[in-house]
A and B are shown apart, each in its own frame.
Chain A
Amino acid sequence: MGNLLLFISVTNAMALLEFTDRGIYCARADVYIDPWKPVDRALITHGHADHSRWGMKAYLSTHSAGPVIKYRLGDIRLQTVGYGEVTTINGVKFSFHPAGHIIGSAQIRVEYKGEIWVASGDYKLEDDGLSEAYEPVKCQHFITESTFGLPVYRWTPQEEVFADINDWWRANAAEGKVSVLTGYALGKAQRLLHGLDSSIGRIYTHGAIENTNEVIRAQGIKLPDTIRVSKEINKKDYPGQLVLSTPGAVGQPWIKKFGQISLGAASGWMTLRGARRRRGADRGFVLSDHCDWPQLLEAIDLTGAENIYVTHGYTAIFSRHLRTLGLNAVELETEYEGELAEMETKQETMKG
């Protein structure tokens, strides 16, 4: 794959953005987008660990993504801008546009002398009511993920998924069981909270999730009431209630205190029977903050771009399909991991 990278940077030597082993690079402005190795200046699409990494000298993100990035990366030099606001560096215009992935997530638009690129980070088209809703941005060069870039991935509308989740909670409550629902601490957890029916019972949260909730509430975003799981809570309080947990905590002794549980997992991967069984969850709910197959194709169509760079997911298959549609699509090897990273960064979620 090293060859592929080299090939692209050579043929695009004059291009506005190039793909290097540190990340997506704009030479003219000397900035990187979501770099995975330390650089001087980084533009960050959103706060997930594979896009927002430690070690950059200076960071730029949206206002609403800022608090979480600061919380996760600690003492960094971070500047924030509003959506649509233009920052000009050596003549190159940079602006952030809603990506609909998580709170504060953005597509980064880069323009120089009429050449327009959009690096979309992670995104979804369905408005989850919490993240700033996705807005298509016209461009000639579109950098896209393809986490679920296979035609087997088609989401059902979120109302139906949440109705299933709430029914599951109700049924568990009737049996006196604790409903343990897993989702990544940043993004999925808040989206689940937003869709849960608080009239069924109380919602308890794992520490890593509650820490993130606190950061998000502090920036003025309203989330349903939650109670942090702690030693002080009487174990008899849990039956019938719901515990929101990180996927990583499920294999830990932490989970034992809840007694009889039903385990639910919410993720796009739950589409596949194999993935549902591998997670050992009692219930798999298909809920993702990424695009499904039809959404990916729609998004690409909406940009009007003819040059598509596919960064992570089923890159080879998805770009081949785009080529059959007459687009100039190439696959790139990056270190972005999409929903896999969000599900499996256990160490990090355990910190809180």
Chain B
Amino acid sequence: MLTKRIIACLDVHAGRVVKGVQFVDLVDAGDPATQAARHAREGADEIVLLDITATHEGRATLLDTVRRTAKELFVPFCVGGGIRTADDAAQVFEAGADKVSINSAALANPALIDAIGRSFGAQAVVVAIDARRDPEASDPVRDAQVFVSGGRKPAGRRVVEWARVAEQRGAGEILLPSMDSDGTRAGFDCELTAAVSEAVGIPVIASGGAGTVAHFADVFGRGKADAALAASIFHFGISSARSLKEELAQAGVPVRLPC
């Protein structure tokens, strides 16, 4: 049976894993390679590394970090942040990533999705959509809006519609961070995740709001998510992928338990 994926997310700044709220008060949370290996050992199904600096000067550091992290990692490895061109993507693949996550660059230039897919396959292209409910709309979920610039600026597109476009252009998966639930630890936005998951035929990765095991069970059930991203919940040993999965298995969610 196909299992639900638990994806460990590492936010990386200048070669270190960091944790903060809304990119402020960053706390050092270790070495990316060490952290990724630990998560994989504890049963994370996949690792996402997000370069939150994503500056031009930081590219060499990032590529070095990707290379070091990929070296001993034998689960799928996705890298995002600052990938603007097919060349940027090629460098990240060369360094050992299996997938790239693209966000604002895909909005600015949707043909980037096709371009990366043509060279590396659709399975290697994850389109990330920063989503926020539209409280003004008659249906805040159906009319949820895409945001850019770290969730500060509306992109003028509806989330569901953009997800469909990304799929048609050859995206392999949709990563769906909810700006409303990010950092709240009050649960994923299950309604929004379900709306996107039902609208596309590719996997949808829920993100934002994880605080308890029940939140994961909820987003895999009601939220129809194929995978869920966990970041802060894993840091500083608060909870491991292993304990999360053991509890999910008891709750009847199909998961891969680590050996």
A interacts with B:
no
Q: List A residues at the B interface (Cβ < 8 Å).
A: none
